[in-house]
């Protein structure tokens, strides 16, 4: 049985002030496989409101799908926090879990016969940068990726 953590543990930041040109949206989801599709839909909806290019939106959906899937399948988290930040030059996607494993996800080399194991390699190929921030508290990590936009959105 997975440990129960209070929902406030994820502590998503409040929306950024519009004065600096950064737009952000955060949301939490339960750590269930159905949350992968919900995260994609929430991301797509927010990007549509911001006028984000559709083609880049597909890449962003792939990234959030990979991160949420990994949190659901490979951690003992109960809640998953998602944060998307958009400024004129980049889109940053963060997924935070509250799992007890202290190490972050690692890309691996899947064999040709394996169905899984290529997601983080895809993220690495599509993102300008990506990484993992392990929290200083007793558990959890944030996996993040930054997608370049090329021009101001």
Q: For residue 104, tell me if it sits in a domain.
A: yes
pTM of the full structure? 0.77
Residue 103: inside a domain, yes or no? yes
Q: Is residue 96 part of a domain?
A: yes
- In whole angstroms, give the CA distance from residue 140 to residue 9: 9
List Cα–Cα distances, 8 to 24, 45, 58, 93, 151, in angstroms.
Answer: 19, 24, 30, 20, 36
DSSP letter string, 29-77: EESSTHHHHHHHHHHHHHHHHTT--HHHHHHHHHHHHHHHHHHHHHS--
**Would 54 be classed as within a structural domain?**
yes
Mind listing the pLDDT tens digit for each residue in 43-96?
999 999 998 888 889 999 999 999 999 999 888 889 999 999 998 789 999 999
**Number of domains observed in the structure of the chain:** 1
**Does residue 146 have a pLDDT over 70?**
yes
Residue 14 belongs to a domain: no
> CA 137, 23, 87, 20 torsion: positive or negative?
negative
37: in domain:
yes
Say if 57 falls within a structural domain. yes
| Domain of 48, in residue numbers | 32-109+116-148
Q: Are 139 and 148 in contact (CB under 8 A)?
A: no
**What is the DSSP code (8-state) at residue 4?**
P
| Residue 69 is assigned to a structural domain of this protein | yes
Residue 63 maps to which CATH number? 3.30.565.10
């Amino acid at each position: 049985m997975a440990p129960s953590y209070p929902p406030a543990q994820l502590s998503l930041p409040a929306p950024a002030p519009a004065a600096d040109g950064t737009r952000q949206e955060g949301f939490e989801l339960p750590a269930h496989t159905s949350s992968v599709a919900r995260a994609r839909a929430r991301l797509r909806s927010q990007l549509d409101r911001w006028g984000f290019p559709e083609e880049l939106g597909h890449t962003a959906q792939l990234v959030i799908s990979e991160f949420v899937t990994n949190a659901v399948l490979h951690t003992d988290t109960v809640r998953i926090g998602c944060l998307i930040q958009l400024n004129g030059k980049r889109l940053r996607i963060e997924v935070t879990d509250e799992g007890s494993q202290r190490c972050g996800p690692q890309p691996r080399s899947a064999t040709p016969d394996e169905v899984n194991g290529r997601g983080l390699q895809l993220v690495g190929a599509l993102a300008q940068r990506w990484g993992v921030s392990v929290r200083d508290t007793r558990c959890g990590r944030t996996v993040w990726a930054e997608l370049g936009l090329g021009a101001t959105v």
